[in-house]
A and B are shown apart, each in its own frame.
Chain A
Amino acid sequence: MIAGIRDSWYMAGRHLRNLMRQPVYIALMLFQPVLYLVVFSQLFKKITLIPGFATTSYLVFLTPGIIILNALFGTAWSGMSIIEDVNRGVIDRFLQTPIKRVSLIAGRLTQMGVTLIIQSLILVGLALLMGARFSGGLTGILLLFLCSIMLALPFAALSNGIALMSGQQETVAAAVNFILLPLMFLSTVFMAPNLVPGWIRAISRYNPVNWAVEAGRAAVSPNPNWAIIGMRLLLLAGLSVVGVFFATHAFKTYQRSV
C-alpha cells in the first residue's frame, strides 16, 4: 500500500513534468468547453423563461455541467498517452522493475486531476467574468471540482484499461465515442431535470455523468442537499475503485501479448 502510493507519487512526478513542459496542451483541451460555455449560454439564454426551470440564469445552470463535461471528455482520452508509452517501450521497462502496477495508472490519474483543476478554474473564472454568481461560495466551487475529478477517475481508468488491452488508439477513440456521447446526451447537462423527457430522466438516474452533474450543481446552489452530494460522490468513488482495478488488471492482458 505504502509502496503503491510512493510509486504513484514518482510516476505522477513524471507526468506532471511533462504537463509543465507543454502548458499549451491545457489551453487546447479547453477549446471545446469554452466554446460550449460561451455559445450555449448565449444561444439558450431564454430557456430559463420556460415555466418550471428552477434557475434564473442559464449560465449559472450550465457552468457545473460544462465543468463536468470537460472532465469527462478531457480524460477519456487519457488512454492515448499510455499507448504512446507502450509504443516507446517505457511501459515495458517499468514492468520489468519492482514498481507497483497500480502506480502506472494512478500516476496518470494524478496528472489528470491537476490538469482538471487548472481547467476548471479557468472555466469558472470565465463564467464569473460573464456575470455568473454561485451561491455555494468557495466551498461549493471546490466541491464541484471534486465532483468533476471523481467522474473523471473511473473514465480515465477505463480508457487506460481499454488502451492497454487493445494497444490501438483507434479502438480507444471508438470506445470513447461509443460510451461518452450517449452519456452526455442522456443527462441533464443542458436541460433542467423536470423538463427533459421522462425516459431520459429515467435513464439519467443510472448515468454516472448525471450523478456528477447533479452533485456539482447542488454544491454551488444556495441550499446544498448534502445527502445527494454525499451519495453521488460515494457512488462515483466506488466506480473509480472498479475502474482502477480494471486498468491495473489490464496489464496482465497486455503482458500476455508482448
Chain B
Amino acid sequence: MPDETRSEDAAIVARGLKKTYRGDVVALDGLDLEVPAGMCYGLVGPNGSGKTTTVKIMTTLTTADDGQAVVSGIDVKADPDRVRKMIGVVDQRSTADLTATARENLTLQGRVYGLKGPELKTRVSELLEQFGLSKDAKRLVKGFSGGMTRRLDVALGLVHRPHVLFLDEPSTGLDPEARHALWEEIDRLVQGQRMTILFTTHYLEEAERYGELISIIDSGHVVATGTPDELKSTLQGDALFVELAGAVDPDLVKRSLAGIEDVSDVVVEDRRLRARADVGARAVPRVLSELESAGIQIDSVTVSRSSLDDAYLLYTGRRFAEVDQAGEEAAAAGAGAKRAKKEGGEGR
C-alpha cells in the first residue's frame, strides 16, 4: 500500500521517532506508526520497550529528539496546543487529584477544555453514570479503590469528547470482570463517534479483541504490524513446547534439531525449549528421537495452535539480525517472513 494515500486519513502518524533519556537510556529508536482515523489500534511490547514514551510524545507531554509526530494532521512539535484540544489521554499511572472528589475532578477537567454551565454539569453527570461512579461522586478520590480510580481516569480523558484517544494500559490493575466492563464502556462510547484510539496493553487477548490493528514494539521500534489474524498467520503451523529434564547447552539442542525440515525458530530458555513446526503432531516423534540421540532428557511435550502470544514471543523474545525485515514482512504474512527468521536464527 502506498504510504501517501494512507497518511491522508491517518489520525496518528509517527515517523522515525527517537528519544534518549539522561544517562543514555534509549527509549525510542526510530519508531514508525500510522493509525488510520477511526480505528482502535493496539500497541504491545515488553516492559521498557517504549510504549509510554511514544504516548508521551504524541500527547505533547514530552518531545522527541528526532523524527516527526503528527496527530489529526497537526505536527505535535509545531502546534502542541492545537493537538491538546483534539486529544484525550489516559496515562499509565493514575493522574486523578486525590484530594478532590470524582465530580470535582471531572468538572475541573471539563472547564480546562472550555465546557461551562449546564452543559458541563450534564456531561460530568453523564460520565459519572457511564463509569458507575455516580454513587461515589462526592467522595474524595483518596478513598477510591484502584478500579474506581482507573474508571475515573478514563472518564477524565473523555470529558471533552476527543477526536483521538490515547490509553496507556487502561486496564492495568483491574480484575478480569472490571477490565471487560471498562472495555465495553470504551467500545460503546467510541461507536458512532468515529474516535481514533491508540492503546497499549500487556494483555494479549485484550489487544487481539479490541485492536483492529496491532503493532508489536521492542527496544524502541516497531517490529511487526498487522491485524491479529495476520500476525498469527505469520506463524504458520503449531507451537512446540518441550520441558527439559535438566539444564542443557542451548547450542547442543539447536544443533540436534537443525536437521529436522519443518521445525524452526528454536529457542532454549533455562529448561524450556520453544519451537515452531508446520504440523506439530508429525514433528514431535522426530524431535524426541533427535533429542534422545543427543542425550537430552525431557519431561514433557506440548503442541498448541498459534496464538498472538507466540507472535509476541517470536518478535520480542528473541532478537535476530533482520528484525526489521521480519517486521515488514509480518503484515504480508506467509512463508517469506518465516524464511527471514530462519536465516536470522542461523546468522546468530
Contacts and interface: CB of A to CB of B under 8 A. Distances in A.
A255 interface: yes
Contacts of A13: 108
B59 A96 contact: yes
Contacts of A7: 112
Interface stretch (B85-93, B242-250, B258-266): B85-93
Contact of B62 (A88, A90, A98, A255): A255
A257 B63 contact: no
Interface in A58-92: 88-90, 92
Given A92-B61, A258-B61, A97 B100 contact: no
Interface stretch (A14-22, A123-131, A150-158, A171-179): A14-22
A28 B22 CA distance: 40
A98 to B, nearest CB: 4
Contacts, number: 63
Interface of B: 21-22, 56, 59-63, 81, 84-85, 87, 89, 91, 93-100, 104, 108-109, 111-113, 156
Interface of A: 7, 10, 13-14, 17-18, 21, 88-90, 92-99, 255-258
Contacts of B95: 88-90, 92-93
Contact of B61 (A10, A21, A96): A96
A88 B62 CA distance: 17
Contacts of B93: 89
Nearest to B84: A98
B69 to A, nearest CB: 14
A256 B60 CA distance: 11
B22 A257 contact: yes
Contacts of B60: 95-96
Given A17-B104, A257-B22, A97 B63 contact: no
22 contacts: A7-B112, A10-B112, A13-B108, A14-B100, A14-B104, A14-B108, A18-B99, A88-B94, A89-B91, A89-B93, A90-B96, A93-B109, A96-B60, A96-B87, A96-B89, A96-B91, A97-B109, A98-B81, A98-B85, A256-B63, A257-B22, A258-B56
A256 B62 contact: yes
Nearest to B89: A96
A258 B62 contact: yes
A98 B89 CA distance: 12
